[in-house]
Amino acid sequence: MGGVPIAIKDNICIKGKKITCASKILASHTAVYNATVVERLKKAGLNIIGTANMDEFAFGSSTENSCYGPVKNPWNISYVAGGSSGGSAASVAARLVPFALGSDTGGSIRQPASLCAVVGFKPTYGRVSRYGLVAFGSSLDQIGPFTTNFIDCAYLLNILCGLDEKDSTSAAREVPDFAKSLKDIKPGIKIGLPKEYFGEGLNLEVKAAIEEVIEVFKKKKAKLIEISLPNTEYAVAAYYIIASSEASANLQRFDGIRYGKRVQDKNLIELYKKTRQSGFGDEAKRRIFLGTYSLSSGYYDAYYLKALRARRLIKEDFDKAFKEVDVILTPTSPTAAFKIGEKAADPISMYLSDIYTISVNLAGIPAVSFPCGWTKNNLPIGAQLIGKEFDESALINLGFVYQECTDFHKKIPLCHFDAREKS
């Protein structure tokens, strides 16, 4: 992979380069060290050509919460690219780069991958080092790759994965050669279809596309089995309490003293207040308020601890399901991309964009999104495969087989300059 260009999400440290997390509060901050994933990419000979736009501090599902403005979907520039890794997904979809890195806290790799028609892989928690990643939710965050196909995805994961002594959450697990997973599936492999993911709220065009994916796997002699993940209904509520609580703690460090922006004031408390008030965007403030409230005296037990209990139930759902099946197939997002600004005034509706991806982060297991169709408006649709802990190989295998049977991943969007000429 020597010389191959790659883009890096703007919350991963590259020594000597600005790292802003798409926030005004870090607009002047320069990284003083390389993230472990950056060191591994450089060692492998890849050429980091720049950083990609994102939702501020990875807070969002549309990459509209950025101090640089929104990322536009390459398939239709009136629509969002998804988030929070929208810049990484869009750059690969538009073929500006063959690879990009993102981070996934509740779907921030997989959801934009779905909306932009690329492969977006979220590894098992601990499989890829988080050293050098600006933390959002420390128990949820995971770095992963964007590619156009599973062959590239396998080789890139070979570079990224592995134990890192600089990261206390890095897993001391042997990393297989993922390229060896690029082969036909074994007949009889069991694929679970959770009934909770195919009910109310799922767009009919998305549902039809997933049904076509099911047919492809049936032709490859896979066994499709309906399963239940009964605690899915609690996932969104539990996630936003846990993630916001961790975010409020992690963002305490951005106070105008140690990093980035500082609003001068003779009074120290006023310096803190004015710096954070002017430096953070609306969504960042919303998450800080929610997280601080959930952790405050009198509410910790009622909200945060209850969310942790729900997280355990969700993890147990997956553990039980994987005793019956080898992998799980679901939609990635309940809808295709929505128009820029369409959900900006409705945070709850925006949060529900991640309803099919959040549980994976709560459980700490691997998942991948890949393109599987288009709507009548020519917007991409993605399918999601979810695997057992540290069984990324099974997902690569199934994804590779699917792409060998289809050509959705080969479609390339017209850039907006071409679209203008033809309009």
Q: How far is 111 from 367, CA to CA, in rounded Å?
A: 11
- Active-site residue set: 9, 84, 108
Rounded to whole angstroms, what are the CA distances from 12 to 31, 113, 363, 365?
9, 19, 23, 22
Helix (H, G, I), strand (E, B) or coil at 253: helix
Q: Which residue has the tokens 């039980």?
A: 320
What is the per-residue DSSP string for 162-188? Answer: S--TT-TT----PPP-GGGG-SPPPTT
Measured on CA atoms in the order 251, 254, 255, 261, is the torsion positive or negative? Answer: negative
CB 353 within 8 A of CB 86: no
CA distance 301 to 295: 8
Task: Give the Cα separation of 17 and 13 in Å (integer).
Answer: 8
Residue 84: asked if its preceding bond is cis (omega within 30°), the reply is yes
Q: Tokens 């933390």 identify what position?
A: 135
3-state secondary structure of 111: helix
DSSP 3-state assignment of 327?
Answer: strand
Of how many residues is the chain composed? Answer: 423
**Cβ atoms of residues 60 and 16 within 8 Å:** no
Instruction: Identify the helix (H) or strand (E) that includes residue 121.
Output: strand 119-122
